[in-house]
Amino acid sequence: MTPQTLILESHGPVALIRLNRPEALNALNAQVLTELIAALAAFQTDEAVRAVVLTGSQKAFAAGADVKEMQALDFATIYKGDFLSGWAEVAGFRKPIIAAVAGFALGGGCELAMMCDMIFADTSAKFGQPEISLGIIPGMGGTQRLIRAVGKAKAMDLVLTGRMMDAEEAERAGLVARILPPESLIDEALKAAAKIASFSQPAVLMAKEAVASAAELSLNEGLHLERRLFQSLFATQDQKEGMAAFIEKRKATFTDR
């Protein structure tokens, strides 16, 4: 079934997902979640897709969760249904995913961007967790992922005041990997994703796993995991090919084996 809130594009080994609710500045609702999870599940099993870029519009990556959908909900309903828990499936996507952010990435939009492996932002990007102004707090990981990205002081500032920070501040704070001109954002995100896609997929998946695990593990546990993953790649043909190509001064041809 063709999604109604997403536009899906194929760019060789890279899939591009555009959030598409322009009438609501790409506010995240249940339909967006359902369709995004379905798209990522399909890309996860599609061997032709090796990386994903997630973006919105020039005005908004996503301006937040859909307040109109949430306003009438009560505690018993959202507790029994474990409201918002489904977004964990997005964070659990195994292949590399780059968020390309223009305009507003607020509330759930900021949290969705942080679920991705890295954030590219254009100069118009605005990030924030303004839930406090609605009488609530972030519920899709904002209080947890933000502190890991920017530290306690900056996270407290954003969560407690509800203010926005621009792309330059977000890059200085460690939330954004690259700032790009608006006209170059998607092309540069696709180019970076294509470069990732050109490497050995076992190595890419293990590299993502190792880095993503660092926030959850002690230093010794993280070093142990890294070492074991490093060692395990010596059982692959791609390790032999990559090192042989380096020694022979040629481009490696990886087979994902």
Residues acting as catalytic residues: 65, 108, 111, 131
Task: Work out the number of other CB atoms within 10 angstroms of the CB of residue 153.
Answer: 10
Q: Residue type for 167, please?
A: A
Distance CA 190, CA 124 (A): 19
Half-sphere exposure at residue 44, Cβ-oriented, CA atoms within 13 angstroms: 12
Q: Cα separation of 122 and 184, whole Å?
A: 8
Q: Three-state DSSP class for 9?
A: strand
Q: Transcribe 125-178 into DSSP letters.
A: -EEE-GGGGGT----SSHHHHHHHHH-HHHHHHHHHH--EEEHHHHHHHTS-SE
- C-alpha span between 124 and 239 (Å, rounded): 41
